[in-house]
Amino acid sequence: MTPLYEPFIVLYNGHGSLDQREGTKSSKVVLVSSCWFWEMDNFDLMLDYMRMFDLAGALLRPHAEALRPMMEMGAPLDDIFEAAKEAGRQLVRDGKMSAGTLATVSRELMPLESYIEFWNQRVREALDKLKK
């Protein structure tokens, strides 16, 4: 985003901001982010920041560390990937992504307690490898 804005801070309504560079045009912004924590609220601070821009939507994948191992085990995850593709189609067609589509991208992969066990086991295994 930095190339789109001048580097000098200006005040708008008492709040620091940046002016858009001459020759650039405003456009919608999409946030694509993952997190290894389970809860969706871990994205809140980043979402608050991104709302300063014309945020069209956010593809958010919590407890993403479980995604690849679950894929390797054959878990049914195709709906997540199809929803991500559909979000792109919606963005082009409608200029925004539906809440239902975004919810599918972010859907729970496993219960919180199971994820904690999964995560902690992976950490233990990684630490054991370091000891050898």
Closest CA to 31 of 102, 123, 94, 83: 102
Q: How far is CA 112 from CA 38, 40, 70, 125, in A?
A: 7, 12, 15, 20
Give the mean pLDDT of 19-48.
89
What is the DSSP-derived secondary structure letter of residue 36?
S
Q: What is the pLDDT of residues 7-28, one digit of tens each?
A: 888 898 888 888 888 887 777 7
Residue 31 has pLDDT above 80, yes or no: yes
How many whole angstroms separate alpha carbon 116 and alpha carbon 131?
Answer: 23
How many whole angstroms separate alpha carbon 28 and alpha carbon 39?
Answer: 26
Domain limits, the chain = 2-131
**Would you say 35 and 42 are in contact if contact means Cβ atoms under 8 Å apart?**
yes
pLDDT at 54: 78
